[in-house]
A = this chain, B = another copy of it.
Amino acid sequence: MTRLDLFIDRMVSQRACLDFAIAETDDLTGPVFELGLGNGRTFHHMRENIHGRDVYVFERAVASHPDSTPAEELTILGDVMETLPQSLERFGATASLIHADLGGHNRAKNDVFARAVSPLIEPLLVPGGLMVSSDRMYFDNMIELPLPEGAVEGRCFIYKK
């Protein structure tokens, strides 16, 4: 398995999980949160395929492709460890879908971060809301759903509140 193989599996799994989660939450009206903008490819995919719901982006430093840069009023700048608790005061438990791709190359570090951020994500979701993540998350009262067709085990995770 090469780095190219792994990367393709991750991208394909992200898309399969996002497409499933977007369709599954289609009846919900609450906002969508993209945690980690990066190059903006998954944000672009979400913005194109999600209708009637605001897609907010949480990012430390915006450095995305010009055509995948969110509007200022939909950008929540800062470290998610601070902006997620602030967003709970602002939005309450209303998010219909949260996608997180915050990790880097270091798997152990990603896992430590996933444990720290999980309790900040869970309270933001509305009952029935979904969370899609590239890392395994640690939630108290959410169930892990089976992956949709096309997604590769271990490359993506879906949780339901």
Which residues of A are at the interface with B, using a C-beta cutoff of 8 A? Answer: 2-5, 7-8, 11-12, 14-15, 40-42, 44-45, 48-49, 65, 67-68, 105
Q: Are B8 and A4 in contact (CB under 8 A)?
A: no
Q: Are A5 and B105 in contact (CB under 8 A)?
A: no
Bound state CA distance, A4 and B15, in angstroms? 8
Bound state CA distance, A105 and B66, in angstroms? 10
Known: A2-B48, A4-B45. 16 other contacts (CB 8 A): A2-B44, A2-B45, A2-B49, A3-B40, A3-B41, A3-B44, A3-B45, A3-B67, A4-B11, A4-B41, A4-B44, A5-B45, A7-B41, A8-B11, A8-B15, A65-B105
Counting every copy of the chain, the complex holds 2
Question: Contacts A65-B105, A105-B65: A8 and B12 contacting too (C-beta < 8 A)?
Answer: yes
CB neighbours of A2 from chain B (8 A)? 41, 44-45, 48-49
A19: min CB distance to chain B, Å: 10
Bound state CA distance, A154 and B49, in angstroms? 24
A97: min CB distance to chain B, Å: 16
Q: Are B11 and A15 in contact (CB under 8 A)?
A: no
- Output the nearest chain B residue to A47 by Cβ-Cβ distance: B2
A11: min CB distance to chain B, Å: 5
- Output the nearest chain B residue to A66 by Cβ-Cβ distance: B105
Q: Could you list some 27 contacts between A and B, CB below 8 A?
A: A2-B41, A2-B44, A2-B45, A2-B48, A3-B40, A3-B41, A3-B44, A3-B45, A3-B65, A3-B67, A3-B68, A4-B11, A4-B14, A4-B15, A4-B41, A4-B42, A4-B44, A4-B45, A5-B15, A5-B45, A7-B11, A7-B41, A8-B8, A8-B11, A8-B15, A11-B11, A65-B105
